[in-house]
Amino acid sequence: MPAGPDSALRVVAIDDDEQHLKFIARVLSRENVKVYTSTSPQEGLEQVYKERPNLVVVDLVMPGMSGLEALARIVEFDPAIEVVLLTGQYSTESAVEAIQKGAADYLTKPVNVEKLEKRVEALLLELHKGQRCLQLEHELLENSQFASMVGHSAAMLEVFHRIRRVAPHFRTVLLTGETGVGKELAAQALHRLSPACSGPFVTCNCSAVVETLAESELFGHVKGAFTGAVQDRVGVFEAANRGTVLLDEVGELSLSMQAKLLRVLQNREIQRVGSPVARQVEVRVIAATHRDLKEMVKNQRFREDLFYRLNVVSIHIPPLRERREDIPLLAMHFLRQYSERYRKNLGGFDPTVMQSLLEHSWPGNVRELDHAIERAVLMAQDGVIRPGDLALRSREAGHRLEDMSLEDVEAFLIKKALARYSGNISQAAEALGLSRSALYRRLQKYGLS
């Protein structure tokens, strides 16, 4: 595989014997290998911190700092760095101690050249494999983007398929899904693939509209319609004429505004506040919500006729926890985006970081992942995102009470009680105000042990 600018294997050799250090450098030097040498343990460590090498070869006995001390500092700095210790006086005890403290190998002087060369060749092969994996990840990312959305899970491929089928024909579409899943991106995709793509795309966040100004916000007003109406104002629907309007968080509209919205959808005309004139609008409507509108209809908090008018076609965007196979792709997508924005040369993620991303519960969905990667890019010191660059809330802290169902809250409290009393059923049941049999039934219900 041809060498690129970042494809060289980096090696730091530390030995107070200058002649032996030169010998090690000659053994290791070849195409695609950069060797840094130092006769001072402290200076050698500074090179390790600066270059973050793939391999460190360090003498066991040196003035000022032993090889084992250097090993401990290197392992603390980056456990992924391979460290090979060299010694002129082999002992089983020191060899075992070195391996236990994280050394990859323990070689005696004079060094077995063939063995050292094989280790370098193995590291070169591993490096090239990593670069090939990174290249394949980039290719997969390129092939997994759909109108600014990213995913290759079965759930997201189904979303992309529905958007393609619906976009050329829709008049109204209902987008559902938790906060942060990307409903606005789906709405933009519907607009771009529709015959109205050359028209405007206008978003109205219904949850942010003050009730007294909601009608003016949606339909506009004429000068003098109310105190403060010093000039005519175009509403969201007129602004989106011959285009698409996204009514985000439509479930937050009051019942009176729902009735007025229903009339607009039925007649395709609006009436500015304070004006007797009805104006025709040719607009496609996308409504989005994280709420269960069917449940709201049952509770008489959402009009049934409006629900059926909006729900001609519905597209559900799944939460990130249900499509974890998309997390690496999304993480790489955001990494590329923010690396370019902040002019940082970042090539990927430390394996432990990716594992953390895959294990996180992501209560904030894709939006939370987006923000986490942006912060990590800002914090990163070298070419890879490290564990210290990433700040994720714990799974327990990530669940806000208001976002949890009653069953989720009950299961959460049961787990906390069991943990507090080390699994003692009687004590946990008493703390929860339950009988032992009632707690056992709930354990079975929630699949807890």
CA distance 370 to 313: 29
Q: What is the pLDDT of residue 121?
A: 78
Measured in whole angstroms, how far is the alpha carbon of residue 44 from the centre of its chain?
36
Q: What is the pLDDT of residue 352?
A: 84
> 260: exposed, middle or buried (C-beta count within 10 Å: 0-12, 13-18, 19+)?
middle
Q: What is the pLDDT of residue 167?
A: 94
The DSSP H or E segment spanning 114 is helix 113-143
At 197 the three-state DSSP class reads coil
The model's pTM: 0.64
Contact 254, 216 (CB under 8 A): no
Domains recognised in the chain with CATH numbers: 9-138 (3.40.50.2300), 149-316 (3.40.50.300), 322-395 (1.10.8.60), 404-446 (1.10.10)
Cα distances (Å, whole numbers) of residue 233 to 228, 265, 280? 11, 21, 16
Secondary structure E strands in 283-347: 283-289, 314-316
Q: What is the pLDDT of residue 54?
A: 83
Q: What is the pLDDT of residue 162?
A: 94
CA distance 117 to 429: 63
Q: What is the pLDDT of residue 395?
A: 46
The number of C-alpha atoms within 13 Å of 349 and in the hemisphere containing its C-beta is: 25
Within 10 angstroms of residue 395's Cβ, the number of other Cβ atoms is 12
Question: In the chain, which stretches have pLDDT less than 70?
Answer: 1-7, 127-144, 393-408, 446-449
Q: What is the pLDDT of residue 134?
A: 61
The DSSP H or E segment spanning 180 is none
Q: What is the pLDDT of residue 405?
A: 61
Q: What is the pLDDT of residue 4?
A: 37
Q: What is the pLDDT of residue 29?
A: 83
The 10s digit of each residue's pLDDT in 276-293 is 888 899 999 999 999 999
Within 10 angstroms of residue 420's Cβ, the number of other Cβ atoms is 12
The 10s digit of each residue's pLDDT in 207-255 is 888 887 888 889 988 887 777 777 888 899 999 999 999 999 999 999 9
User: Among candidates 160, 235, 168, which has minimal Cα distance to 202?
Assistant: 235
